[in-house]
Structure 1
Amino acid sequence: MTNPRATHTTLTLRDADGAPLAHRDVTVAQTRHAFGFGCTGFEFIEHATGEADRTAFADAWLGLFDTATLPFYWGRFEPERGAPDTARLRQAARWLRERGVRLKGHPLVWHTVKADWLDRVPEDEVERIVRDRVTREASDFAGLVDTWDAINEVAIMPRFDNEPDGVPGAIPALARSLGRTGIIRLAFETARAANPQATLLINDFDLSEDYERLIEDALEAGVRIDAIGLQTHMHQGYRGEEQLLGFADRFSRFGLPLHFTEISLVSGALMPPEIEDLNDFVVDQWPSTPEGEARQADEITRMYRALATHPSVEAITYWGLGDGGAWLGAPIGLLREDGSSKPAYDALCALVRGEWWHAPQTLRTDTDGRVRVEGWRGDYAVRLGDAERAFALSGAADTDIAL
């Protein structure tokens, strides 16, 4: 497959008077990929607010990833009605943005990790409260978080009744009342009204034809969806390149960017195949093993090579850098609990910040001040002496820069 990320441009470098900077040695370096190499940013909240020192973790994260998903699970973000955790998350968002990290919020509407107080609200008030919640978060974080999972796992939402407290959920009831297309419209149109510049995703783990029909129905109803999220947690084993690329091929028919939003690979024993709901698998310990770590490194390399070069895929988010506190207690992280790196971390670094990265390189301009730059699409900088200018490698044939 031809790599759609690789491209080139010819820089023409000029001085302040417009004269070409001929026969000069300039340094060109990449600063960020256009492709979103993402990971959860949940762990940065306490670090950014000064509640915990996670400097080593942050260095490892920033040494590999460029896009962070921040948690907006309603039950944790606003466990007490009227007291959202806005200030802490804004501080974490600013900390990450200052370091050049792109941000996504997850999720605005979801039936799980619910706000228990919402279930006690009169049914005829729920829709207004959900709209107010979406408006508040999309507005309060505009300019910091401009990408959102607008609605999460709506394929199952209207029939979801597996609440641990046995109390019927207000969100599934609302989804039944409005219908799946109706609640998708609520999430997308409310978020877009609050932040017209936002990129809004629909996101699901159900990658069956049902999800395709759901997307098709919403688009036909006039709902504007900016990108499609595909979850691929692999606690029961690697799905393989053929199946993952098959998902990408199927969902590319909508002509929308695809984000593999929640990816995980186990570096220990695999979850038994007979488990249908991954949440039902509960063990006291789930250790990482040398054999599992070798397998994880091989699988993550193959997976990223396949997905990152599919023309419809624009982002991949790995679901957790470290094992500590990982979903279901599984050893899915790229760092062990003691913070040491697993082979998968090193293997992914070798791709994202090695093979696919334009490290600082000295190039010499020709008589017309031109120099050709090749690499993955993204943000770059060119330096001559103390002067430095940013430019984008985006496929444009020529770029003029005054230094």
Structure 2
Amino acid sequence: MVKYKKSTRRKVMLERRRVLELFEKEKDALQAKTQEGIEKNRKGKFTLRLTDKTGKPLANTAVKLCQKTHEFRFGANLFMLDELETPEKNQAYKQHFTGLFNMATLPFYWDSLEPEKGHPRFAKDSPRVYRRPAPDLCIEFCEKHGIEPREHALAYEQFFPKWLYGADTETTKAALETRYAEIAARYADKIPTIEVTNEMLWEKGRTAFYDDADYVAWCFKMAEKYFPQNELAVNDATDMAWGMRPRTCSAYYSYIEAAILKGARIDAVGMQFHMFHPREREYEATRPYYDPDALYAHMDLFARFGKPLQVTEITVPSYSWEKEDEELQADILEYLYSIWFSHPAVEQIVYWNLVDGYAHVWDPDPEVIAASQGNMTQGENYYHGGLLRFDLSKKPAYERLDTLINKAWHTEGEFNTDADGCLSLRAFYGNYDLTVLKENGQKGEITFSKKGENCFALVL
């Protein structure tokens, strides 16, 4: 970590804070827009009617409502589940994860899930692979804590196993279908969102099939066969999703459109948001991405498909653990999350690495990868893009998201029924605990859904 004199540090931070220029250019107008969008798109009117067993309305009865979780999905990847050095760190990881998120991205990278052909690592007792906890372990954690799992990524060609490198198209298709069938048999009823393809614009692939013009369409048609009840998502890199001019052209938009025209059933559009830029280039490199108008324009563009949008992989760097750097990371994330949460098409926002010091390192040597833990100069560790520090203490970014998700975007309070025993209010969509503050304090659970009728009757 670079150390500066106090005066130099102040100058450096003033320079860094320039990245907020476009967010703060018309700050009041942006705040009004995001608040209006959140109020309109994330809240609804709900009616609760209380009666006794004879059908008599319970007038002027106090009811306590407390939101437990959002219908909207806030998540992160779960790649470090039981992967840390000590039981204490593993426990802290789980506590911090469940304290903030109701969705988890699970690693289904083919190269590490099936490094040996015919021997997939599904079970909890499978051989360990760093940053790749076994799916069964992840599912168990999610089910225990009421977290929705998300699959990543079914046909991500850059992470095909070595035993498939150089294979012809028919061999690759056959292997993919076997993979689809095995994963579907074990997890289709447990994982609602299946991310089918990811990052389709690499120059060179591992197999001949990657260069096939029908790759995306074929992968989705095969996914529809094996995952008929699941949400099938496409996903691609930051510059593909947010970096091209949204009003004129987008390679990502074009290949989605082409696949749909070929009969592919694509249910959701994933949009990565990794700010992997060196500190000295941060200002110029992030201008297209830290621009509210551009962000809304890109979301509007992909919303034309009539499919929900998912912000799938988010990294916003702090570059260090210095107070000012961490506060800036929190400020940026507050703007971004408010914008994304306000847009009607967005249904998921998924941060990437929860903890600093355990990010991806592009090196095939396991010893190099193991040595990278806590080394903040190696690989993606450089960016300090986590919400927790290496010691699992909370960064301001974690605290800021906690304030947004669990406090600002949260409904809780005591309310009274009217003369007809009815209670009407606007509240965030999600699951609620309900307590009637009389008649032995009867308790229950209700779900306020954007897709539901949201009229509830409770008989005491």
Q: TM-score range by the shorter chain?
A: 0.7 to 0.9
AA aligned to 1:65 is: F
- Structure in which a larger fraction of residues adopt helix: 2
Residues 121, 175 of structure 1: alpha-carbon distance in 2 compared, 3 angstrom cutoff: closer
| Alignment partner of 1:243 out of 294, 298, 322 | 294
Give yes or no for the alignment of 1:160 onto 2:192: no
Partner of 2:443: 387
Instruction: Quote how far apart the aligned CAs of 1:354 are.
Output: 0.7
Residue 398 (1) aligns with residue 452 (2): no
Q: Give yes or no for contact 1:155–1:214 (8 Å, CA) kept in 2.
A: no
Normalising by the residue count of structure 2, what TM-score does the alignment of the two structures yield?
0.75
The match for 2:95 is 59
Amino acid at match of 2:343: H
SS in 2 for 1:39: strand
Pick one of 338, 341, 344 that aligns with 2:397: 344
SS in 2 for 1:87: coil
Q: Distance in 2 between matches of 1:108 and 1:393?
A: 29
Change (3 A) 1:100 1:19: farther
SS at match of 2:138: helix
Alignment-derived partner of residue 307 in structure 2: 256
Q: CA deviation at 1:45?
A: 5.2
- Residues 217, 370 of structure 1: CA spacing in aligned structure 2 closer, same or farther, 3 A cutoff? same
Quick check: 1:233 aligned with 2:274?
A: yes
The 10-residue stretch of structure 1 (200-209 or 187-196) with the greater mean CA deviation from structure 2: 187-196
Give the aligned partner of residue 199 of structure 1. 231
Which residue of the other structure, out of 243, 246, 252, is the alignment partner of 1:211? 252
Does the aligned pair in 2 maintain the 1:29–1:358 contact within 8 Å? yes
Aligned ranges for residues 88-237 of structure 1 at < 5 Å?
Answer: 88=124, 89-119=135-165, 124-156=170-202, 159-161=203-205, 169-170=206-207, 173-177=208-212, 179=213, 182-205=214-237, 206-207=240-241, 208=244, 209-236=250-277, 237=282
Percent of residue pairs bearing the same amino acid type: 32
Matched-pair contact (CA < 8 Å) for 2:196–2:219: yes
Provide the C-alpha distance between the structure 2 equivalents of 1:46 and 1:14, rounded to a whole number of angstroms. 51
Residues 149 and 191, structure 2, Cα contact 8 Å, conserved in 1: yes
Does the CA contact (< 8 Å) of 2:75 and 2:104 recur in 1? yes
Deviation, 1:291, is: 2.5
The AA in structure 2 aligned to 1:198 is: N
Match of 1:333 among 386, 403, 411: 386
CA gap 1:141/1:15 in 2 versus in 1, 3 angstroms: farther
Trace 1:274-285 onto structure 2 (pairs within 5 A): none
Is contact 1:107-1:152 (8 Å) kept? yes
Cα offset, 1:61, TM superposition: 1.3
The CA deviation at 1:243 is 2.7
C-alpha contact (below 8 Å) 2:268/2:309 kept by paired residues: yes
Deviates more, 1:146-155 or 1:196-205: 146-155
Counterparts in 2 of 1:55 and 1:396: CA distance versus 1, 3 Å:
same
Matches of 2:104 and 2:54 in 1, distance apart?
41
C-alpha spacing 1:14/1:196, structure 2 compared with 1 (3 Å): farther
- 1:25 aligned partner: 62
Q: Aligned match of 1:362 in 408, 414, 418?
A: 414
Q: Cα offset for 1:52?
A: 8.1
Name the SS of the counterpart of 2:427 in structure 1. Answer: strand
The aligned counterpart of 2:317 is: 266
Contact 1:8-1:396 at 8 Å conserved across structures = no
After superposition, the CA RMSD in angstroms is 2.2
- What secondary structure sits across from 2:111 in the alignment? helix
Size of the aligned set, in residue pairs, is: 368
Indicate the residue corresponding to 2:372 in structure 1: none
Query: Contact between 2:429 and 2:447, CA under 8 Å: does it hold in 1?
Result: no
Structure 1 residues 71 and 117 mapped into 2: Cα distance closer, same or farther (>3 Å)?
A: same
For 2:53 and 2:166, the matched residues in 1 are separated by: 66
Give the drift of 1:381.
Answer: 2.8
Unaligned runs of at least 5 residues, structure 1: 162-168, 269-286
Say which SS state the counterpart of residue 373 (structure 1) adopts.
Answer: strand
Q: 1:51 to 1:58 in 2, by over 3 A?
A: closer
1:272-331, CA deviations, whole angstroms, 9 ceiling, x for partnerless residues? Answer: xxxxxxxxxxxxxxx433222111011000111111101111111111111131232131
Give the aligned partner of residue 44 of structure 1: 81
Q: Displacement of 1:66 after TM fit?
A: 0.8
d(CA) in 2 for partners of 1:381, 1:312: 27
Q: In 1, Cα distance between the equivalents of 2:58 and 2:115? A: 60
How far 1:246 moved relative to its partner? Answer: 2.4
SS state at 1:63 partner? helix
Distance 1:78 1:367, change over 3 A: same
SS in 1 for 2:100: coil
Question: 1:15–1:224: structure 2 CA closer, same or farther, 3 Å change rule?
Answer: farther
- Is the contact made by 2:267 and 2:308 (CA closer than 8 Å) also made in structure 1? yes
3-state SS of 2:74 partner: strand
Q: 1:123 to 1:393 in 2, by over 3 A?
A: closer
Task: List alignment gaps of at least 5 residues for structure 2.
Answer: 1-32, 125-134, 245-249, 361-379
Kindly provide the amino acid, as one letter, of the partner of residue 417 in structure 2.
T
* Alpha-carbon distance between aligned partners in 2 of 1:90 and 1:131, rounded to the nearest angstrom: 21
Q: Classify the secondary structure of the residue corresponding to 1:150.
A: strand
What is the match of residue 85 of structure 1? 121
1:8 aligns with 2:60: no
Q: What's 1:302 paired with? A: 335
CA distances 1:222-276 after superposition (whole Å, capped 9, x unpaired): 21110000111012244212332222122111111111111110011xxxxxxxx
Query: TM-score of the superposition, structure 1-length normalised?
Result: 0.85
8 Å contact 1:134–1:187 — kept in the other structure? no
Does the 8 Å contact 2:68/2:431 carry over to 1?
Answer: yes
